Structure 1
Amino acid sequence: MKKFSISRREFVKSSTLVAASLPLNSAFASLMNGHTSPIAQGPVNLNWLDGTIPSLSAGATWGVPWPKGQLKKNAGFTAETPSGSKIPLQSWPLAYWPDGSLKWTGHALGAETGKAKNLRLLPGKPSVPATPLRVTESADFIDINTGIISCRVEKKGNTVISSLSREGKETATKGRLVLLCQDKTEPGDDGTIRTEQFIGEISSVVVEQKGNVRSVVKLEGRHTNTQGTGWLSFIIRLYFYAGAESVRIMHTIIYDGDENKNFIKGIGLRFSVPLQEELHNRHVRFVGEGNGVFAEGVRGLSGLRHGPGREASLAQVDGKKAVITGDGIDDLQYIPAFGDYTLFQPNADSFGIRKRTKTGHSWLNSDQGKRASGTAFLGGPSGGVAFGIRNFWQSYPAQLDIRNAATDTGEITMWVWAPDSPVMDLRFYHDGMGQNTYEKQLRGLEVTYEDYEPGFGTPNGVSRTSEMMIWALPSTPSRARLVEIADTVRNPPMIVCEPQYYKNMEIFGGIWDLPDRSTPEKKEIEDKLDWYFDFYKNEIDQRKWYGFWNYGDVMHSYDQDRHVWKYDIGGFAWDNSELSTDLWLWYYFLRTGRPDAFRIAEAMTRHTGEVDVHHTGPFAPLGSRHNVMHWGCSAKQLRISTATNRRYYYYLTADERVGDLMREQVNADKTLLVIQPNRKVRRGKQTEPNPDGAFANIGFGTDWGALAGAWLTEWERSGDQKVRDKLLNSMRTIAAQPHGFFSSGGMMELATGKFTITTGNQVGASHLSAVFGLVEVCAELVKTVDMPEFEKAWLQYCELYNASAEEQSKELGRALGSLNLAQSHSRLTAFAAKRKQDDQLAKRAWNEFKHSKGGITADFTPKTERILGPLVLNPINEARGVSTNSAAQWGLSAIQCLALIGDKI
C-alpha cells in the first residue's frame, strides 16, 4: 500500500487565503473578526454514514466545513483513497466566512468511484472521471449522459422525462406526473363520486448544476386537466451522477387548492416501458421487507400440468432467458399472461401484492407482508427498469403499479399517495365550536392548548417532498442485485466527516463536544442523552408516527391516563419543532455520528421544513405552532419556519430543496405586517394589519432569532450585501437598546433591519425567547461577527435570565419576576461563564441544570414500564414523566453545558 503523506505545511500552503486577492467590493471584505479559528491539520477523513462500503453506489453528495481564513473562495479539491489513488470529484462552495474564505463546500462522487471504504479530501486539482457526465441543452430539451444511461428532459409540455436509454436502447419513456382528484370524500345521495386525472404541466426548467461528476435539473409547474385547469404546484429535481445507471428524483408538491373541494386520490410519477421479449421472458419483481423478493414471469412457466420443462421454468424464476421450442411454443397460448401488478402499502405494518390478467378481469391476491422496501422491476433478459420510493412504508399510503406488461408498452407508476387508499382529506378536524372572538379563542387555548381562529387551520401552501429513483438496467437483475438496489433506495449512500473533525472545526457555534464518560457525573449525563434518543427512536416505531403528512414528526405531550400521546388534544399533539426538537437531534448526531440519529434528524428536517410551513398563500412563509393537524394552529410563527432548523442538514448534505426552504425565510419579516403572532394577547387596541408598512413589530427572541438565522445563512451562502447589512444593523440596534435583549423587542425598519431605539425603561423577558434557536444563532454570530457591543448584550441576557432578583434589579433597575424554563437557560449561563471565564457562573449553571424546576432534575431517572392489555390496545413500553419539550431542552442543555463548562462539573 502506498503511504499517504502530506504535511500540515503543504496542506496550509496549498490552501492559505491571500486576503489581497479578494475583490475590494466583496460583501465580506470588511468584516475580519478577531476571534481565533481552528486550523485543519491535514487531509479530511471521510466515512460512509453507515460505516460500511455501500454494496451499490449511485453517486453521493455531502458537505465539508473549513476554518475561517484558510481556503480561498476558488480553491479546488481532490479526493484520494488511503493508498493515494485519485478519485474523480466535483466541488462547489456552500458558504463563505465574512473574510471571503470558504466556510462550507459541497462535494460529489460519481457512481463508478464510490467503492472505497475510507476517503481523504484535501485541496488540489480534482481528478476527472474516465467518462465525464455530459449535459447538452437546446431550446426544447436537455440531454444528460452519465456514461451508462442517457436521459432526455423536456422543457415544456406534460412530459418530464421523454426518454431514458441504456446503450442506445430505450428503457423508459413518457415520464409524467399524475394527479387523481375526487370531488368529494364519500358518495352523495346519488351514490357517485367523480374522479378526474391531472397531468403535470411544466412551466420552467433550469440546469441548477452542470458538472462532469454531478448535474441537477430543476423543473417546476402545476398539474392540469384536459380543460387546462391547473392546481397542485410541483417542483422536481433530477440528479445525475457520472457512471450511474439511475436517476434520483426529488418530488415536491405544494398544496394550493381548497381543502373543502380538492380531494386528492393519487399522486404519482408514471413511465411507459417498451417491452419486446416474449411474455414468458418478461419479469416482474417486488422487494418486500429486508431481502425478501417477490418474483414472477408475466406468463408463468412453473407449476403447470404440462409445460416447457423444468429448465425453462428455473430460467424464468432466476430472471434469465427461457428458451422454448417445439410443441411448447404452441401451448403457451393456454397459459394466462398477467399484465397488471400492484404492491399497496396502506399503513406502516402491512402490504399486499395482487395481480390480474388485464382490465375487466378479477384481481388475484398474490402475497402479503409487513414493510415493503418500495422497490420493483419490470423488464426481461435484454433490459428493464427498476424503480422505487424512499421511506415507502414510513410515508404510507404508497403504491407501486405495473400495468399492461402483456402488451408492447408496459407502464409503471410510483404513487407517493396511493390511489387504492382512502382519499386524502385535509379539512380541519372540528367546526370551531363557537370560538368566534379572541376572548373565546383564548379560553379554548387554556382548555386544550389549541390556538384556534377561523380560516387559519388551512393546509393552503404546505408542501411535501418525496424521493424516488429509477434505474435503466441491461437485464433482469438477480434477486441479490435487486435487494442492493432496494437498499440504495431505502438509504442512499451518504458520506460524512468524522465527529472529531466537525468538533475541531467548531461548526454551528462550537457549543457541543464529543461524548465524554471520564467522570461519574459526565457518564450519568451521557447515558441519559443516549437513553432519551433511544426512547424517541423506539417511540416513533411503537406509536407508529408514520404517514405521508406525519413522518418525521413526534408528539408533544403524553396522556398518562389513557397511556397514549395526546394525538387528539389541541396543541398537545404533533410537536412541530416546539422547543427545538430538531436542534437536539442534530447536535446529538454531530457528537455521536450515529447513522440512526442522522436518519431521524433528516426525516424531521424534511417534515418540519415542508409540512409545518406555509410556502405559498397568505401565511407564507410562516410556520404553524403545534396542533392535532400540522397546519391547524392559528399561531403562524417564524419560530417554526426558522432557517436555523434547516442549516444542519443543508450544510451536511448540500441538499438543494432545503436550500430553497431557507431562502424562503429571508423576507419573512414582511409577513409580520399582516400576520402578527401576538395579535390576540396584545394589551389595549389591536394593531391593524398594514401590508404596506415600513416597520414591523419584531420580538428579540423567537422573531429576530429566526430572521437572524435566515439572514446569516443567506449572507454566507450568497454574499448578499443587503442581507448582510440588515443582519448587522439589527444586531447593532439590539445592542443599542437601553437594556439590550431585555428590551424584549421593537419596531424594525424592514428596508434596513434597524430597530428603533426605545426611549423608555421597558424591561422584560419571555421564557420562550431563547429556546427556539436563539442560543444557537447567537453562538454562531458571536463566533462569526466581530461586534463587541452585540456580544456584550447577549452575554448580559445569558447571565441575568437565571440570576437572582437582586442581581437583576442591580443591572436592569428591577427584577424580571417569575420566569420559567430555568434548566433550559442553564446553557445560557454556561455560555456566559465560558466567554467570561467565570467559575462562579459555571457553578451556578451546573446547579441550574441539575436542580431547576420545570425541567428534568438530576434525581429523575428515566425508565420504561411494560403496559399490557386490557389497559392498552397493544403492549407498550411507557416512560412516565417524559415529554418532548423537556427531553429536547434537557438534551440541548446537557450537550452545551458539557461542551462549555464540562471541566467545571
Structure 2
Amino acid sequence: MQKVKLKWLEKPRIDNIGVTFCIPWKKGQLNNIKNIVLRSEDGSIIPAQSWVLSYWGDGSVKVSGHAAFFGTNLPDEVFACIEEVAAKKFEEMIRVFEDKTHINITTGKLECKLCKTGSKIIEYIKIKEKVICSNLAQVIKTEKISNLMGYKTKVEEEYIPEILGAKIESCGPLRSVIKVWGRHLRNTKMTFDGSLLKQGWLPFELRLYFYANSDKIKIVHTFIYNGNPHQDFIKGLGLKFNLPLHSPLYNRFVRFGGDSGLFCESPKNLIDVYRKERYKTMFQNQVNGQPINFDIDEDHHYIREINNTPEWDEFILFQDSSEHYVIKKRTSYQCNFIKATEGKRAMGFAYVGDENGGLGVALKDFWQKYPSGFEVKALTSSEAILTIWLWPPYGEVMDLRHYDFGTYTSSSYEGFDEYRSTPYGIANTNELWLYCFDYPPTSEQLLEYAKMQGFSPLLVYSPERYKETEIFEGLNLPDNSNSKKEKIERILTAIVDFYLKEVERRKWYGFWDYGDFMHSYDTVRHMWKYDIGGYAWQNTELVPNIWLWLMFLRTGRFDIFKMAEAMTRHTSEVDMYHLGEYKGLGSRHNVVHWGCGCKEVRISMAYLHRYYYYLTADERIGQLMDDVKDIDKQIMHMDPMRAYFTNDPENRVHIRVGPDIMTFCANWLVRWERYQEDIYKQKIIKILDFLKKNPAAFISGGIFDYDPENNQVKPIEYTGGSNFVFCFGNTLVWLEIAKNFEDKEFEELCAQQGLFYTEFKENKNEILKSWGVPNFGFKLNIFNIGMAAFAAMKKNIPELKKEIWQMFLDYNKNPWLKFICNGGINLQLSTIPVPVVEVPFISTNIASQWSINALLALEFIGDELQEL
C-alpha cells in the first residue's frame, strides 16, 4: 500500500467543515482515482469524493481533486493511500434536484433552494424546516453627478439583479458546486443603450459550494465591470439576505468581528438600572448570546424599565481603510447614527439571529480589500436585512477613470503611445462563507468563526512530496548543507520576507490593488514609483506569481501562500479582460492596473495560475485558464507589434517567440494536461517543429508572421539584443514542455540557448553560425541565467557553472543584494511622511527573476556551488 501524508495549511478553529484539496502524483503512479483512499491517523477511512484535474502524457493521473467532510476532533494529519478496498458507504450524501426554475440542494444538515430566473439567487436556506435566511440578492447602487446652473446634484440609482441561469457545475456525493450568473437592470426598466444593451449592467456569477452533512456554504462571487468609467460610478455593491426574527427584541443579537474580539449588542440592550446582581448577570448572558427568560412576577418592574429604552434598528460596520473601521447604530433611518466604537482591522465577520438561531457570514480579506462593510437593518421588525458590502455606499464612489488624458511613453515607460486605458471588461472576485445556526450560538463560539476570517480550510502536502512528484518545473527544496548554499537560501528568504513586509509597510491594500506589488523604487523620494507610468503597479510583469508559488511549495509557509493566493486572484481578474475588445488579454504594468496601452497575451497566461488550481481545484481559476486556450486568435485584432509595423502592406500579424509564442504553448500545455485534448498537443508539436527548423527564432528580437487559423509561424527578421525569450517564465515553460513530450531534440535546443548568452565561448559562435545569425553581443544576465544553468548541467561545463554562481552573488551587478541581506536601511527623514525600510536599486522585475533563476540554478548546478 502506497501512503502519503497531508497536513493542514493552517488547522481550522472550527469543527464540522467541508474541505476541497488536491493530491499530486508521480508520472505512472496512479491510473484510477477509485483506488485513492483517505485515512485518519488511527487508520479509519475518511469518506471522500475524487476527480481528476490533470493527466501526465502517458494518461496517468497528474493531479487529483478531492472533497471530504470532517466532523469533530479534526485530525492533525490525513493520509492518502493507493489501495483496493471496498468503498465506504456514505452516511450522508448531498442530494440535488433540478427543474426549470429552481435547483434544490440538501446536505443532511440544511436545505437550499436556488433560483434560475428572477432577481433572487437563493430563495431560502432551511435547517429542519426552519428558515435561516431567504431572498439572497445582489445590491448595486450607482451615483451620477451633474452641474447645472451652478448647482451640484448627485443622483443615486439602484439596479435590479436579473438571474440569467444556473447550472450544476459539479455534483458528487460529498460536494456539489452550483454556478449562478446574471446581470443588473435599471429600476426604471428603461432600455439600455450601446454596450449595455446586450450584456446588461455589471454581469456577475456566483459559485456556491455545498458539503454533505454540513451547515456551511462557501460562495465565490465575481462581477465584471462593463460601464463607462467617466459616467458609471458604483456607489454600493453587495449581497443582502432576509432573516426571520420571532423573538423579543432583547433576544435578538448582532455580532461584528473586531480586531481581536466581538462587538456584541442587541436592538434592546438590557440595563443595569437597579444595580442588582440578577440583572447584571442577565445582561452579561445577553452579551454572551444566551437568550433571556424573565419571570413576569419577579421582573415586571425591570421589564417596564427596559421597555422604556431605545430600540436600535440599524447597525453598520464600515472598514474605510486598511487601518480603520467604525461601528455605528441608529434607531431609525430618520434619525442620526451614533458611534459605538472604532478599531483598526475588523475580522470580516457578522452574525444576526435570535433565540431560534441565525446566520453568520465571513468575508475573506475584509480589511485588505477595503472599503468593505456589514449593514443590519429592520432588526426590530419580523424580518431583518443583513447586507455584506463588497463596496459600501458610505464613502467615496468606485472611481475607475485613468490618472491622466494621455500617455508618457518615452519618459515613463508606458509602452505604446496608444491610449487604451479602460476598465471595461475587468473583474473582481471575492470569497465568503455562510454559517447557519438553528440554535443561538454563544459569543465564544462565534469568535472562533470570526478568527477564520473567511479563509477556506486546506490540506496540503509537504514540500518533499511536491518536489518528488515533479508536477511543477523548477521546484527544489531548501538546502543549507554548506555555507555556499546557505548563503543563497538566506538571500531567497530575505527577498520574499522583504516583499511581504513591504505590503504592510507601504499599505499595498485596497479593493482593486490587493495582491499586487509595485514595480520600481525611487531612491530620491524614498518610495515606490506609484505615480510614474509603467514603473508603478507590477501586474504579472516578469512573473512574480511563479516566484511566490515556488517559494511556498518549497517552504510550506502560510504567509507566502496567502500572498500568492491574493496575487493569483488579483492578476487573473483585475489585470485581465473578461469582456469586450480585449477579452482574454491582460494589461501591462501602469499607474492604474488597466492603464497601459499594451494589451498582452503573456499577462493572462494560464501557466501563472495553475499553481493555485493544482492546490485548491478552484473552479473560477479553472474557468479563467479555459478562457485563454485559444488566445492566439485574439491577436488577429490586437497585433502585439503594431507600433513597429504600422505600414505592413501584407497586413500580417506580428509576434515574438518570447512573450507570445511561448504563452500560446503554455496555455495549450495547461489545456492538454487538464483535458487530454490532442488538438492542443498537436498545436505545441507544430510550434516545436518550427523552432527546431528555425532555431534562430529564440533570439529575443526575432519578429514572426503568425497565422492563427492554421497555427502557422513564418520568420520575418532577427534583431537580437533583448531577453524576452527568458524573462516571462519562458525557461520553465520550454523545459516543462520538453520533459512532458520527452523531446530530446528540443531539450538540446534549449541547452544551446543557454550557451550563447554566456561568456563561455565553447561552441557559442558555431551555434550562432549554424543558426544563420551574427553574434549580437549576447551576454549572461539575471534574465537568461536559469537557461544557462540548464546548459551547464547538460553539457557539464565547470567554467560556466562558476560563471553563473559568480554572477548571482556579484554585488556590482546586483547592488541591491547587500542591502536586502541586511534587512534594508531604516530611514526617518524630514522629506518622508513615515519611517521606511529601504532597499536601494530594487525592482520587482529583478527580485522575481533573481529568485526564480536562483531556484533553477540550485536545481541544475546546486551541487557544484563553490565558495566565492
Q: TM-score range by the shorter chain?
A: over 0.9
Paired AA for residue 522 in structure 1? K
SS of the residue 1:608 aligns to: helix
Picking from 55, 78, 81, the partner of 2:37 is 78
Task: State the shift of 1:554 in Å.
Answer: 0.6
Is 1:450 the counterpart of 2:414 in the alignment? yes
What is residue 749 of structure 1 aligned with on the other side? Answer: 707
Matches of 2:221 and 2:756 in 1, distance apart?
Answer: 47
What is residue 706 of structure 1 aligned with on the other side? Answer: 663
What is residue 339 of structure 1 aligned with on the other side? Answer: 313
What is residue 14 of structure 1 aligned with on the other side? Answer: none
Is 1:92 the counterpart of 2:51 in the alignment? yes
SS of the residue 1:218 aligns to: strand
Distance 1:675 1:113, change over 3 A: farther
Paired AA for residue 843 in structure 2? S
Task: Report the TM-score when normalising by structure 1.
Answer: 0.90
What is residue 564 of structure 1 aligned with on the other side? Answer: 527
Distance 1:807 1:303, change over 3 A: farther
Is 1:634 the counterpart of 2:634 in the alignment? no
Task: State the shift of 1:222 in Å.
Answer: 0.7
Is the 8 Å Cα contact of residues 72 and 102 (structure 1) preserved in structure 2? yes
Q: Please, which moves more after superposition, 273-282 or 842-851?
A: 842-851
Matches of 1:820 and 1:796 in 2, distance apart?
Answer: 14
Matches of 2:149 and 2:293 in 1, distance apart?
Answer: 55
Paired AA for residue 67 in structure 1? K
Is the 8 Å Cα contact of residues 518 and 537 (structure 2) preserved in structure 1? yes
Map Cα deviations across residues 501-540 of structure 1 (whole Å, 9 max, x no partner): 001111212x221101111111111111111111111100
Task: State the shift of 1:821 in Å.
Answer: 6.8
Q: Please, which moves more after superposition, 726-735 or 645-654?
A: 726-735
Task: State the shift of 1:655 in Å.
Answer: 0.7
Matches of 1:337 and 1:582 in 2, distance apart?
Answer: 51
Map Cα deviations across residues 70-89 of structure 1 (whole Å, 9 max, x no partner): 22155442100121011111
Is the 8 Å Cα contact of residues 287 and 375 (structure 1) preserved in structure 2? yes
Task: State the shift of 1:823 in Å.
Answer: 2.1
SS of the residue 1:902 aligns to: helix
Is the 8 Å Cα contact of residues 57 and 493 (structure 1) preserved in structure 2? no
Map Cα deviations across residues 323-350 of structure 1 (whole Å, 9 max, x no partner): 1224244444312110100000000000
SS of the residue 2:834 aligns to: coil
Is 1:829 the counterpart of 2:788 in the alignment? yes
Map Cα deviations across residues 594-647 of structure 1 (whole Å, 9 max, x no partner): 111111100001101110111111111111111000000001111211111101
What is residue 749 of structure 2 aligned with on the other side? Answer: 793
Task: State the shift of 1:741 in Å.
Answer: 2.1
What is residue 719 of structure 1 aligned with on the other side? Answer: 676
Is the 8 Å Cα contact of residues 670 and 696 (structure 1) preserved in structure 2? no
Distance 1:819 1:337, change over 3 A: farther
Picking from 514, 517, 523, the partner of 2:486 is 523
Is the 8 Å Cα contact of residues 253 and 464 (structure 1) preserved in structure 2? yes
Distance 1:111 1:149, change over 3 A: farther
Matches of 2:754 and 2:815 in 1, distance apart?
Answer: 20
Task: State the shift of 1:106 in Å.
Answer: 0.6
What is residue 333 of structure 2 aligned with on the other side? Answer: 359
Q: Kindly report which structure 2 residues correspond to 1:129-168, keeping only aligned pairs within 5 A, or say none.
A: 129-168=90-129
What is residue 392 of structure 1 aligned with on the other side? Answer: 366
Matches of 1:267 and 1:236 in 2, distance apart?
Answer: 14
Paired AA for residue 614 in structure 1? Y
Matches of 1:852 and 1:314 in 2, distance apart?
Answer: 63
What is residue 551 of structure 1 aligned with on the other side? Answer: 514
What is residue 206 of structure 1 aligned with on the other side? Answer: 167
Is 1:297 the counterpart of 2:273 in the alignment? no
Paired AA for residue 628 in structure 1? V
Is the 8 Å Cα contact of residues 21 and 617 (structure 2) preserved in structure 1? yes
SS of the residue 1:755 aligns to: strand
SS of the residue 2:389 aligns to: strand
Q: Kindly report which structure 2 residues correspond to 1:572-587, keeping only aligned pairs within 5 A, or say none.
A: 572-587=535-550
Matches of 1:91 and 1:453 in 2, distance apart?
Answer: 51
Paired AA for residue 852 in structure 2? L
Q: Kindly report which structure 2 residues correspond to 1:808-819, keeping only aligned pairs within 5 A, or say none.
A: 808-813=764-769, 814-819=773-778
Is 1:883 the counterpart of 2:843 in the alignment? yes
Paired AA for residue 726 in structure 2? A
Q: Please, which moves more after superposition, 97-106 or 130-139?
A: 130-139
What is residue 196 of structure 2 aligned with on the other side? Answer: none
Task: State the shift of 1:479 in Å.
Answer: 2.2
Matches of 1:188 and 1:798 in 2, distance apart?
Answer: 69
Is 1:281 the counterpart of 2:238 in the alignment? no
Task: State the shift of 1:896 in Å.
Answer: 1.2
Matches of 2:368 and 2:817 in 1, distance apart?
Answer: 35
Q: Kindly report which structure 2 residues correspond to 1:306-345, keeping only aligned pairs within 5 A, or say none.
A: 309-324=279-294, 325-326=296-297, 327=300, 328-345=302-319
What is residue 608 of structure 1 aligned with on the other side? Answer: 571
Matches of 1:299 and 1:63 in 2, distance apart?
Answer: 48
What is residue 767 of structure 1 aligned with on the other side? Answer: 723
Distance 1:185 1:548, change over 3 A: farther
5+ long unaligned stretches in structure 2: 193-199
What is residue 438 of structure 1 aligned with on the other side? Answer: none
Is the 8 Å Cα contact of residues 576 and 612 (structure 1) preserved in structure 2? yes
Paired AA for residue 660 in structure 2? D
Is 1:117 the counterpart of 2:117 in the alignment? no
Distance 1:323 1:781, change over 3 A: same
Map Cα deviations across residues 341-390 of structure 1 (whole Å, 9 max, x no partner): 00000000000000011211111100110000110110122100101210
Task: State the shift of 1:854 in Å.
Answer: 5.1
5+ long unaligned stretches in structure 1: 1-5, 7-41, 436-443
Task: State the shift of 1:842 in Å.
Answer: 2.6
Matches of 2:667 and 2:616 in 1, distance apart?
Answer: 18
Map Cα deviations across residues 399-456 of structure 1 (whole Å, 9 max, x no partner): 1011101000000011111111200110111111xx6xxxxxxxx3221112354551
Q: Kindly report which structure 2 residues correspond to 1:22-37, keeping only aligned pairs within 5 A, or say none.
A: none
What is residue 738 of structure 2 aligned with on the other side? Answer: 782
Is the 8 Å Cα contact of residues 734 and 755 (structure 1) preserved in structure 2? no
What is residue 133 of structure 2 aligned with on the other side? Answer: 172
Distance 1:128 1:607, change over 3 A: farther
Is the 8 Å Cα contact of residues 112 and 126 (structure 2) preserved in structure 1? yes
Matches of 1:232 and 1:94 in 2, distance apart?
Answer: 31
Q: CA RMSD of the aligned region, Å?
A: 2.3
Paired AA for residue 150 in structure 1? E
Picking from 437, 444, 450, the partner of 1:480 is 444
Is the 8 Å Cα contact of residues 816 and 842 (structure 2) preserved in structure 1? no
Paired AA for residue 378 in structure 1? V
Paired AA for residue 601 in structure 1? A
What is residue 552 of structure 2 aligned with on the other side? Answer: 589
What is residue 418 of structure 1 aligned with on the other side? Answer: 392
Picking from 629, 642, 666, the partner of 2:629 is 666
Distance 1:130 1:830, change over 3 A: same
Task: State the shift of 1:154 in Å.
Answer: 0.7
Map Cα deviations across residues 823-874 of structure 1 (whole Å, 9 max, x no partner): 2311111112233444444333323433496546876653322222533212
Is the 8 Å Cα contact of residues 254 and 265 (structure 2) preserved in structure 1? yes
Picking from 140, 148, 153, the partner of 1:192 is 153
Distance 1:605 1:861, change over 3 A: closer
Paired AA for residue 683 in structure 2? K
Matches of 1:847 and 1:715 in 2, distance apart?
Answer: 39
Is the 8 Å Cα contact of residues 399 and 415 (structure 1) preserved in structure 2? yes
Matches of 2:723 and 2:419 in 1, distance apart?
Answer: 29
Map Cα deviations across residues 116-165 of structure 1 (whole Å, 9 max, x no partner): 11000123455444212222222211111122111111111111011011
Paired AA for residue 238 in structure 1? L
Task: State the shift of 1:480 in Å.
Answer: 2.3
Matches of 1:723 and 1:128 in 2, distance apart?
Answer: 39
What is residue 693 of structure 2 aligned with on the other side? Answer: 736
Matches of 2:82 and 2:862 in 1, distance apart?
Answer: 35
